[in-house]
């Protein structure tokens, strides 16, 4: 059975998980901080994202047999297993939080009377089904939908350009670029989602060249994020854009081109539903696959259902209201995400360098002794 994913499929999965929830909430945060220069802040954050994509590609090269064996070989058997357990807990929490963020958005702007439990159940059923099919099915789905999403996003950008006031983008860098550069690190976290590709190591066809699709996914995410934030600012101005909880959705809702193009917001919600289903499917699959690897199981499918049953109530009970979710997401979540997707991967990389140097020194000593 061929369960390998190509470079393009890896790119597709990566950009889906980067973009899925960030496009809903991140524009407001960026515009509040950088005002009319939010699009520049996103590009500066993307530079950090490119460096992280390179880091993840190095871990993929070193983890030929999988993420669990890589961590166990670097950190030791028991410490490594403890770290893997922490990752499994975080994957479920991240999945529940992403799902809750999206469901609150949908209920806020569309289906006010729909119980959140019904929407969570529907999304999780679809996600669990895809996760059980395996990474090949998920990769093929991403490979198709990436074209649909790209064409639709391009249509939005073209449609809104005739309704903007470019003067809303002024002034450009009134206090210089250093102030934005200092703030860029905090807004790197959407790009750190590319880390989850490291957990797909056993399924990547060409591990040595995995860095290319990761770097390209970050570059395209930079382009789409900066383009949307630039047009949101030009459409509303940064004062109004900072007021809207979902400025990207509010902008799309106002797009019209005569009688031909109207009500694109309905299509946007459909696209974002696809995005969250793919992200949730991937996180459930990563939980099941990594857990199966840790438990030395032959198949990931038995763990999909337990993961789903944990995520369902967690996503509903995790917070009481939208304000609590947004406060946690804005103040704390990016720090937790950076710990798992930046700090620990950097530790793994440095230890791998140290062990590689140590092995080379031992080989040189043994060669000298033999001589």
Q: For the segment 253-276, what is each residue's pLDDT rounded down to a tens digit?
A: 888 766 666 678 888 888 999 999
Q: Rounded to two decimals, what is the model's pTM?
A: 0.93
Query: In angstroms, rounded to a whole number, what is the distance separating the alpha carbons of residues 191 and 350?
Result: 21
61, 311 Cβ separation under 8 angstroms: no
Joined together, the tokens standing for residue 183 give 């703030």
Domain segments of the chain: what residues? 7-370
Please give the structure tokens belonging to residue 342: 């930046």
Handedness of CA 257, 261, 266, 272 (dihedral sign): negative
Query: Is residue 360 over pLDDT 70?
Result: no
Tell whether the model's pLDDT for residue 52 goes beyond 90. Answer: yes
- Predicted confidence band of residue 367 (pLDDT cuts 50, 70, 90): low
CA distance 122 to 101: 15
* Residue range 130-138: mean pLDDT, rounded: 95
Average pLDDT of span 228-254: 91
Domain 7-370 has CATH 3.90.1720.10: no
Contacts of 343 (CB under 8 A, 6+ apart): none
pLDDT band at 229 (very low <50, low <70, confident <90, very high): very high
Identify which has the larger pLDDT, 332 or 257: 332
pLDDT given at position 1:
46
pLDDT digits (tens, 9 = 90+) for 90-132: 999 999 999 998 988 888 887 667 788 889 999 999 999 999 9
pLDDT, average across residues 75-81: 94
């Amino acid at each position: 059975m061929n369960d390998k994913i190509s470079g393009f499929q890896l790119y597709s999965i990566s950009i889906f998980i980067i973009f899925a929830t960030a496009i809903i909430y991140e524009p407001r945060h960026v515009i509040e901080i950088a005002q009319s220069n939010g699009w520049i802040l996103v590009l500066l954050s993307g530079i950090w994202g490119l460096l992280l994509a390179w880091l993840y590609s190095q871990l993929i090269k070193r983890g030929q047999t999988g993420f669990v064996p890589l961590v166990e070989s670097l950190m030791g058997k028991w410490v490594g297993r403890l770290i893997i357990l922490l990752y499994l807990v975080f994957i479920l929490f991240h999945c529940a939080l992403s799902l809750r963020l999206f469901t609150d958005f949908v209920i806020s702007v569309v289906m006010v009377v729909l119980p959140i439990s019904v929407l969570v159940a529907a999304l999780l059923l679809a996600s669990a089904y895809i996760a059980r099919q395996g990474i090949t099915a998920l990769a093929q789905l991403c490979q198709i939908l990436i074209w649909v999403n790209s064409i639709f996003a391009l249509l939005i950008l073209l449609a809104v350009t005739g309704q903007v006031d470019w003067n809303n983008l002024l002034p450009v860098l009134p206090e210089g670029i250093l102030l934005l550069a200092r703030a860029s690190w905090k807004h790197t976290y959407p790009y750190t989602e590319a880390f989850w590709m490291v957990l797909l190591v056993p399924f990547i066809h060409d591990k040595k060249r995995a860095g290319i699709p990761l770097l390209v996914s970050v570059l395209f995410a930079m382009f789409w994020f900066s383009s949307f934030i630039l047009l949101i600012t030009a459409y509303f101005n940064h004062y109004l854009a900072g007021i809207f909880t979902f400025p990207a959705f509010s902008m799309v809702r106002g797009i019209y081109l005569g009688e031909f193009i109207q009500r694109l917001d309905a299509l946007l919600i459909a696209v974002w539903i696809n995005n969250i289903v793919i992200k949730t499917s991937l996180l459930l699959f990563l939980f099941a696959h990594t857990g199966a690897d840790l438990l030395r199981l032959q198949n990931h499918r038995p763990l999909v259902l337990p993961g789903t049953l944990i995520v369902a109530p967690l996503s509903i009970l995790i917070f009481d209201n939208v304000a609590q979710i947004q406060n946690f997401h804005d103040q704390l979540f990016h720090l937790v995400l950076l710990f798992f997707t930046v700090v620990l991967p950097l530790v793994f990389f440095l230890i791998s360098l140290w062990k590689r140097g140590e092995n080379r020194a031992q080989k040189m000593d043994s060669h000298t002794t033999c001589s």
